[in-house]
Amino acid sequence: MRIIGIDPGSISCGYGIIEETNSNISIINFGIIKPRLKSRTSKFSEVLKILYDDIFNLLIEFNIEEAAIETQFYHKNAQSLMKLTQARTSITLAVLNLNLPIYEYSPREIKQSVTSNGNATKKSVRFMVNSILNINIEKKLTDASDALAVALCHVSKKGKLVLQKNSPRNWREFIEMNPERIIS
């Protein structure tokens, strides 16, 4: 089953595509969509169209079967919250127009699923995604690692995630498995 995880945003939208086959997870693709307005007179609606088109094209190109998206959380800035809501709506419509099932997970639920700590930092999430998928996502692609975490959360919630034998599930296991990498 091919799953896309999405970390929505109007400035930077992360996506991560994984495939679950016989309880094994493999990475298919990941990246960031950064919609840019063509000019100062451009409208925010153009950003929404770019998000819709790019997600729609990814869904078709990679034969996605299910989508998982991070839910909104409270923003202090009402303008930012409105833009994020519109971005999520645009992304959701792209998924729904292909009649694909879409699942939503809270940031805390995603962090808990991937790191065993609902208050984990973005750095911890990126570390665990790298460890679980045996990849090395750079710091500048945090939105992409967050999106992969959303996809992994979805697989985990469906009861299909089996971590690789040598993959730590949290920082404690990492320290126990790699004592030589700890600086005293």
Q: Which one-letter amino acid corresponds to residue 103?
A: Y
70 assigned to active site: yes
- The catalytically annotated residue of 20, 54, 66, 143 is 143
Owner of token pair 């995603």 = 110
SS3 32: strand
Active-site pick, 7, 20, 66, 146: 7
Catalytic, out of 54, 70, 109, 146: 70
180 is catalytic: no
105 and 133 in contact (C-beta within 8 Å)? Answer: no
Written as six digits, the tokens of 170 are 């949290």
CA distance 10 to 16: 17
Tokens representing residue 66 in the block = 């299910």
Residues annotated as catalytic are: 7, 70, 143
